Amino acid sequence: MDRFLTVFEVATLFRVSDRTIYTWIDEGVIRCIKIKDKSAVRIPASEIERLVQEVLEVPPTKLSAQRKKRLLENLIKSLR
């Protein structure tokens, strides 16, 4: 079974605001599960892993290798 994260947890992982995560959800960058009868969403850990893989495929000129490595390490730590 997949672990689910809150918008706040994902924002913390990527070091962006909650609003950025909601924008990514609205734009289809991150898939989420909406909780019925609540205005809350949860994001599967597998979705974060997919997004990290996409980030790792960004050409080095767009994102430094060291930044990619730090991002990936932080995400892996938080998903354990």
By CB atoms closer than 10 A (0-12, 13-18, 19+), residue 80 is exposed
Judge whether 30 and 43 are in contact, CB under 8 Å: yes
Q: Which class is 4-79 in CATH?
A: mainly alpha
Judge whether 43 and 34 are in contact, CB under 8 Å: no
Query: Beta strand 41-44 with 4-5: parallel, antiparallel or unpaired?
Result: antiparallel
What is the value of pTM for the model shown?
A: 0.66
Taking 70 as the pLDDT cut, the residues of the chain under it are 1, 56, 58-68, 72, 75-80
Using one digit for the tens of pLDDT, what is the confidence trace for 13-28?
888 899 989 998 998 8
- The two three-digit tokens of residue 24, written as one number: 């990514």
Q: Which long-range contacts (CB under 8 A, 24 or more apart) does 9-18 make?
A: 9/78, 10/43, 10/48, 12/78, 13/48, 13/74, 13/75, 13/78, 14/71
Of all residues in the chain, the percent with pLDDT exceeding 70 is 74
